[in-house]
């Protein structure tokens, strides 16, 4: 009796690396689309006015799919913050400590911070407007405020000898590095 050769059986779902990788890639793509959509909405309307329905629609997913990835606003906000910090982080103000001249250090810090503000002006303005009403905690890690304070205190210690003058220089440097200061310098009067 002659045996016929059987065609190979199709792989069971999950039994080969290819279908699992494809499914994993689709999940990563879906997550990225959701995060990108949320970041775009945070930049245009602000995080407080960004609804899950709007994010789902912009990402091309259903609301249940969105909730499967991000069960609440804080988890979505943390993912957006993490993505922005990974793709275009703010300047590392602590790195300027290698610049010996304090005035050159301040100039470099202002140049780089202001360039960052220019790239992210709408998103930062919306975040500053909305953060108090969102009751979201800032993800752990370095903060711009902490770095501004550190740079300001370091410069003040080098530029002034008296305590009262150091406090004044610290306040002036922190003010110069603030987003609101950059905005007031770059927007015409009366613009919001």
Q: What is the pLDDT of residues 118-134, one digit of tens each?
A: 999 999 899 889 888 87
5 Cβ neighbours under 8 A, 6+ residues apart: none
Percent of the chain with pLDDT over 90: 42
Which of 9-13, 18-22, 65-69, 98-102 reaches the highest mean pLDDT?
Answer: 65-69
Domain ranges, ordered by start, for the chain: 17-87, 93-134+142-186
pLDDT of residue 167 exceeding 70, the answer is yes
**Domain 17-87 CATH superfamily:** Homeodomain-like (1.10.10.60)
Cα–Cα distances in angstroms (integers) from residue 141 to residues 100, 104, 124, 133, in the given order: 27, 27, 18, 22
Phi, psi (rounded to 5 degrees) for 88? -150, 75
Q: Is the pTM of this model over 0.85?
A: no
DSSP state of 114: H
- Among 17-21, 25-29, 122-126, where is mean pLDDT lowest? 17-21
Looking at residue 55, its pLDDT comes to 98
Q: Please, what's the b/e burial string for 153-189 (b: 16 or more CB within 10 A of its CB; e: otherwise)?
A: bbbbeebeeeeeebeebbeebbebbbbebbbeeeeee
């Amino acid at each position: 009796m002659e045996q016929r050769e059987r065609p190979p059986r199709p792989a069971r779902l999950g039994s080969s690396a290819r279908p699992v990788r494809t499914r994993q890639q689709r999940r990563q793509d879906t997550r990225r689309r959701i995060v990108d959509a949320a970041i775009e909405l945070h930049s245009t309307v602000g995080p407080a006015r960004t609804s899950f329905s709007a994010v789902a629609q912009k990402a091309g997913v259903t609301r249940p799919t969105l909730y499967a990835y991000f069960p609440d606003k804080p988890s979505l906000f943390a993912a957006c913050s993490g993505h922005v910090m990974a793709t275009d982080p703010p300047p590392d103000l602590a790195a300027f400590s290698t610049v010996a001249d304090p005035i050159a250090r301040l100039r470099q810090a202002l140049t780089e911070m202001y360039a960052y503000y220019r790239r992210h002006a709408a998103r930062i303005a919306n975040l500053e407007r909305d953060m108090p009403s969102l009751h979201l905690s800032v993800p752990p890690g370095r903060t711009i405020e902490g770095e501004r304070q550190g740079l300001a205190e370091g410069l003040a210690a080098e530029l002034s000898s008296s305590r009262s003058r150091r406090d004044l220089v610290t306040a002036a440097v922190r003010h110069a590095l603030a987003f609101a200061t950059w905005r007031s310098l770059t927007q015409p009067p009366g613009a919001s």
